[in-house]
Amino acid sequence: MSASGTAIKNNAHSITSVWFDEREIAVTELKRIMHVEDDPSIQAVAKVALEVVGGFTVETCSGGEEALKSFHAFAPQLILLDVMMPGMDGPSTLKKMQSDFDLSAIPVVFMTAKVQANEIESYKALGAADVVVKPFDPMTLSDQIREIWQKLQ
């Protein structure tokens, strides 16, 4: 413990506990990410980036319908959602999830190449916590997701 009475325990990649004046405040560690993406090559790269590099457990869904069906069984802590998908696109998937499930503690992060300021604002207006730009760097994707998670805690 430092002179100010604060110590931070670091668990490999994320803060797990913060001590202040002998009281512990829990910071939930992100473990389970649902990734909704129709492109198999992006699915594969993101899965490696998040599982191997980041240490997360990832449930990959090929579209919105599959994500809706897998939601309860997987119980995601964060949803990484492609914007442009055939059939049910990302915004439609988010709206359906919001009507079917309680997402108050589950941030949704859109992944897209469409990142003009007005587009990002519209995603956030729909309820997205943040936006990850495509193409993404597989070596830093898990850090980006972890930063988003930590700023929301």
Cα angle 135, 138, 142; round to 5: 110
Burial grade of 64 (CB within 10 A; 0-12, 13-18, 19 or more) = buried
**Amino acid in position 44:** A
Residues 69 and 24 in one domain: no
Residues 10 and 22 in one domain: yes
Q: What is the pTM of this model?
A: 0.82
The parts of the chain modelled with pLDDT lower than 70 are 1-27
Residues 105 and 131 in one domain: yes
Task: Residue 7: give the domain boundaries.
Answer: 1-28
Residues 39 and 57 in one domain: yes
Residues 16 and 39 in one domain: no
Question: How many domains does the chain divide into?
Answer: 2
| Sign for the pseudo-dihedral over CA of 114, 79, 125, 28 | negative
Residues 17 and 59 in one domain: no
